[in-house]
Amino acid sequence: MKRISKVLIVIALMAVGFSLKSGDRPMHEIHSMLMFNFIKYVEWPADAKSGNFVIAVVGDENVASTIEAFYSNRTVKGQTVKVVKADDINAVTNAHVLYLASNKSRDFDAAKNKFSGKSTLMITDKNGLGKEGSCINFKEINGKLRFEINESSIQANNLKISNQLSSMGILI
C-alpha cells in the first residue's frame, strides 16, 4: 500500500506540475520537487550510505535555495540532507546528487569526467545531455517538461533505479 501511494504521488506531480505555460509554478520549484522525488526511486551502494546525503547544485541559486528550504532538515535514506551551492563544478568535491543547471551546461564534460564511475546521480537541464551521459535530463516536449533516463550512465555510476521511475521517463 505504501508503494502504491508513492507511485501515485509521483504520477500526480508529473500530471500537475509539468506544464510550461506562464502562471504555473516556477520552474525551479518543479525541478526541485522532481529531483527530490527521483532520489526516492534510486538506490545508492552501501559505501555511499554514511555521512550526509549531499545534493550539489551548480549554477542555479533558486533550485539550491528551494531544495535547502524544503529539505535541509529532513533525512534521505537515513542520512541528513546537505545542500551545496556552487557556481563552478570545481567547487564540488563529492555529491550523491549533482544538478547542473542549463546555464552551466558548457561544464558538462568536466562534470561527467569528475563524477563518472562515482555514486553520483547527475541531473541536467539541457537538450542532448541525456544522450551525452547525464543520468537524468530534463527536456521540453510539446510544451511539457519530461525527463530522459540514461540507464547506462546510471549503471556506470553504481546506482540502481526503480522500475516505477523508469516507466515514467524517456529511456535512452
pTM: 0.86
pLDDT in tens, 6-34: 554 555 445 444 444 434 788 999 999 99
- pLDDT for 148: 97
Task: Give the mean pLDDT of 60-70.
Answer: 93
Closest CA to 124 of 37, 57, 27, 72: 57
Comparing 25 with 88, the larger pLDDT belongs to 88
Task: Give the mean pLDDT of 94-122.
Answer: 96
Domain of 39, CATH number, reads 3.40.50
pLDDT at 63 over 50: yes
C-alpha distance across the termini of the chain, in Å: 30
pLDDT at 82 over 60: yes
9/159 Cα distance (integer angstroms):
23
pLDDT band for position 72 (50/70/90)?
confident
- pLDDT for 149: 97
For the chain, what is the domain count? 1
Question: Across the chain, where does the E strand assignment appear?
Answer: 42-43, 53-58, 75-76, 79-86, 97-100, 121-124, 136-141, 144-149, 160-161, 170-171
- pLDDT for 2: 56
Secondary structure of residue 99 in the 3-state scheme: strand
- pLDDT for 147: 96
- pLDDT for 161: 96
Domain span at residue 122?
A: 2-171
- pLDDT for 24: 72
Comparing 38 with 144, the larger pLDDT belongs to 38
User: In this structure, what C-alpha cell is assigned to residue 62?
Assistant: 533558486
- pLDDT for 73: 80
Task: Give the mean pLDDT of 151-159.
Answer: 96
User: In this structure, what C-alpha cell is assigned to residue 94?
Assistant: 563529492
Which amino acid, residue 106? R
pLDDT at 118 over 50: yes
**96: Cβ–Cβ under 8 A, 6 or more apart, which residues?**
39, 44, 48, 53, 54, 55, 119, 120, 121
User: In this structure, what C-alpha cell is assigned to residue 91?
Assistant: 567547487
